[in-house]
Amino acid sequence: MKKPALNSRRDVIKALSIGTATSLVAASTTRAESVTPSQTEGPFYPDIDNDLTFVNSRKDRAKGDYLYVYGIVQDTEGNPVNGSLVEIWQTDFQGIYDHAGDENHAKKDPNFQSFGRCVTNAQGHYIFKTIRPRYYAAGRGFRTPHIHYKVWRRGFHDLTTQLYFEGESKNAEDGLYRQLSDDEQKRVTISLRPATDVHPKVQERLSSDFKDQAPVSHSLIGRFDIVLKIVSES
Ligand SMILES: [Fe+2]
């Protein structure tokens, strides 16, 4: 059968694009019966959920004092920022990080996840279950116990900060902590209380959300709210 004439430039382009797409699909389906070869996984990314007390595939829990850290991510007007990615990393109960540069790395608690990630919900809330970090030697002094935070949200400036704990004796010796003004220290320092102090319904919720094997009664809890700056704000 005779092909219809291509009457206009548009017809030619249309015919070409359909033809190109058709030939691409044809090319990609000629070996459809051959399954893509599989390869072993690696490098292995760590477990990165918001429960740092448990590493997938391991049966034992992390050692240390269990700690829930929760809060709200909001803008400077106090509006909750949903969909923010909140990441934390910290030492294990001995003050050891999960990276090769830590000279005690070999002794790190293998059941501690070290790094966690959470996305804020519609109300801007986030929560982690972790352990209370320990101080560690740094240079000639110490870093007081802290949790590193990084928070991202499109339309907002990225925030990198560190969270500290009220009453830690090494806070006063920590160079980075001392660089902060009194007001700044207040905004990145939280008090901890027994998790049994929160409403029983919240305790139930914590237990079910985290499938707790360690009872909430043995855990601490603290609130750390975070304020992000909108990109258009100077
Ligand atoms: Fe640190």
Assign 15 a pLDDT band (cuts: 50, 70, 90): very low
Please name the residue that has the structure tokens 């293998």: 110
Which pLDDT score, from 0 to 100, does residue 30 have? 54
Ligand 1 centroid from CA 91, angstroms: 7
Ligand 1 centroid from CA 146, angstroms: 6
Ligand 1 centroid from CA 89, angstroms: 8
- The structure tokens listed for 61 are 């829990």
All structural domains of the chain, each given as residue ranges with its CATH number in brackets, are 66-228 (2.60.130.10)
Q: How far apart are CA 224 and CA 93, in angstroms?
A: 20
Ligand 1 centroid from CA 58, angstroms: 25
Ligand 1 centroid from CA 18, angstroms: 57
Q: For the chain, state the CA radius of gyration.
A: 26
For residue range 74-94, what is the model confidence (pLDDT) as tens digits?
999 999 999 999 999 999 999
Ligand 1 centroid from CA 145, angstroms: 8
Please compute the mean of the pLDDT values over residues 165-176 and round it to a whole number.
Answer: 96
pTM of the model: 0.79
Ligand 1 centroid from CA 209, angstroms: 28
For residue range 27-47, what is the model confidence (pLDDT) as tens digits?
445 556 778 877 766 555 567
Ligand 1 centroid from CA 162, angstroms: 8
Ligand 1 centroid from CA 196, angstroms: 29
Ligand 1 centroid from CA 134, angstroms: 10
